[in-house]
Amino acid sequence: MTSTKRALIIDDEPDIRELLEITLSRMALDVDSAADISEAKQQLNNNEYQICLTDMKLPDGNGIDLVRHVQKHFANLPIAVITAHGNMDTAIEAMKAGAFDFVNKPIDLPSLRKLVNAALTSDRLPAISESSSKIIGNSTQIIKLKKSIQKLARSQAPIYISGESGSGKELVARSIHELGPRNSAPFIGVNCGAIPKELVESEFFGHKKGSFTGAGHDKQGLFQAAEGGTLFLDEVADLPLDMQVKLLRAIQEKAVRSIGASEEISTNVRILCATHKNLESLVSSGDFRQDLFYRLNVIQLDVPSLRDRKEDIPALIDALLIRIATNCQLDKPTIEPAAQQKLSQYRYPGNIRELENILERAFTLCDDDTITEIDLQLDRNAATPAHRDPTKQTGHFQACQNHASIDDYLAEVEREILCETLEQTRWNKTMAAKKLGVSFRSLRYRLAKLGLDYNED
């Protein structure tokens, strides 16, 4: 038989204490209460609790003092603070000190119950997840990062994930979500720089049918899609200034209004954001709102670049080659010592994403299941591209401009060439490989990558 979970409430107003005691008791919790910090510390020393709720203003101090005390002496105890309505600055200060979450006065009981249920599941959270297992390495930086992820996953505080392009910021965000109490709800990731400016508000908040030209039906926004879960704003620095104002209000009020709607709807999402740009510099230059930065940067988590943890490169190479080979249903190739050394010495301006691209290319070029130094083509990566006059670019340049990215364009070109050659050889892959001047292994890899491996010889 499992023991009943126990909660501690700290508030100097008897009516608030009674309301909270009744609400938590109905959630099958044993509830103790205290009127000040001194009494609360005695209760904490004498009993074991699974959640603690404290008011901010207390006769002998403030709630943040108690949050710090709990963080120091009872690190695994989730503590939430009760703040005056609209006092977001105080709530953020409390979360920086280690508070699990906050609730505003007057207390919304459904929101309180969600907060309590999330806190109570924090002792049953997984130690590892699919995404966290993909964070490869045993360097000091990675060990520190994994510990931070595990700790921050328990909190509900907004997190700003900083790091260079390709360093794995989205993987870190997914890990935080999967290891946290919201892991059964959606994780919605969005690249803020990829949304056309005129559609940003509709994408974030949704719209009603007929609210503007082309709105043929109701559309759910990202906040609604992520309800109960996590909303990850990648490249948040690319948001236009007018949208930054609206995002700030949505975060502060925990409510959004769809375009064309008459009423706001409450939201319950955790905000994670990331960018490879320096947000502090953008704030100084006026390109990013300081108040929004303050709301998003409650906790900052830095993801190290690959060149700062080179001891992890061998393990990353092994893991990436296994993944690439598995996706193509081929055997994992070996890698010559000279090639391994070359990879360990390279600086990786594109970080892990660049390492993966290098290995994918080498995987298709290598013979006899062995990757050589030549297969890596690192000299091509390091070369500075020749200057080209954009006024003289025609043909492929113009076609590329019509695609979302150069990768999409090149993939389309490759797909057309492969399909045309396979049609000519009646889908005989051995003949197609000879006609294209590539190995059979390379052809199979390219077909699998482009989703064209559905036709067998």
Q: What is the pLDDT along the chain (457 residues), one digit of tens a residue?
A: 456 899 999 999 999 999 999 999 999 999 999 999 999 999 999 999 999 999 999 999 999 999 999 999 998 899 999 988 667 788 889 998 999 999 888 888 998 998 999 888 877 788 899 999 999 999 999 999 999 999 899 889 999 999 999 999 999 999 999 999 999 999 999 999 889 888 899 999 999 988 887 788 899 999 999 999 999 999 999 999 999 999 999 998 889 999 999 899 999 999 999 999 999 999 999 999 999 999 999 999 999 999 999 999 999 999 999 999 998 888 899 999 999 999 999 999 999 999 999 999 899 888 888 999 999 988 765 543 434 444 444 444 444 445 555 566 677 777 778 888 887 777 778 888 888 887 777 777 778 777 776 544 4
CB neighbourhood size of 255 (10 A): 14
**Which residues, at least 6 apart from 222, have a Cβ–Cβ distance to it below 8 Å?**
188, 190, 203, 204, 205, 231
**Helical spans, DSSP H, in 328-405:** 337-345, 351-365, 373-376, 378-382, 396-401
Q: Evaluate whether residue 265 is within a structural domain.
A: yes
The rounded distance, in Å, linking the Cα atoms of 131 and 299 is 21
Let me know whether 369 and 444 are in one domain: no
Let me know whether 160 and 195 are in one domain: yes
Q: Evaluate whether residue 143 is within a structural domain.
A: yes
Whole-model pTM?
A: 0.79
Q: Which residue has the tokens 């050394």?
A: 341
Let me know whether 166 and 294 are in one domain: yes
pLDDT given for residue 210 in this prediction: 87
Let me know whether 162 and 295 are in one domain: yes
Dihedral in degrees, nearest 10, Cα atoms 308, 156, 233, 177: 70
Domain termination site, one of 77, 99, 124 = 124
Let me know whether 140 and 170 are in one domain: yes
Number of separate domains in the chain: 4
Q: Which residue has the tokens 């260079």?
A: 164
Q: What is the DSSP letter of 115?
A: H
pLDDT given for residue 85 in this prediction: 65
Domain termination site, one of 302, 329, 356 = 302
Per the structure, the complete domain to which residue 357 belongs is given by 307-382
Domain termination site, one of 272, 287, 302 = 302
Angstrom distances, CA of residue 319 to CA of 135, 315, 356, 371: 10, 6, 10, 15
The rounded distance, in Å, linking the Cα atoms of 212 and 210 is 5
Q: Which of 55, 117, 48 is nearest to 80 (CA)?
A: 55
Let me know whether 162 and 191 are in one domain: yes
Let me know whether 28 and 118 are in one domain: yes
The rounded distance, in Å, linking the Cα atoms of 445 and 443 is 5
Let me know whether 287 and 426 are in one domain: no
pLDDT given for residue 2 in this prediction: 52
Q: Evaluate whether residue 43 is within a structural domain.
A: yes
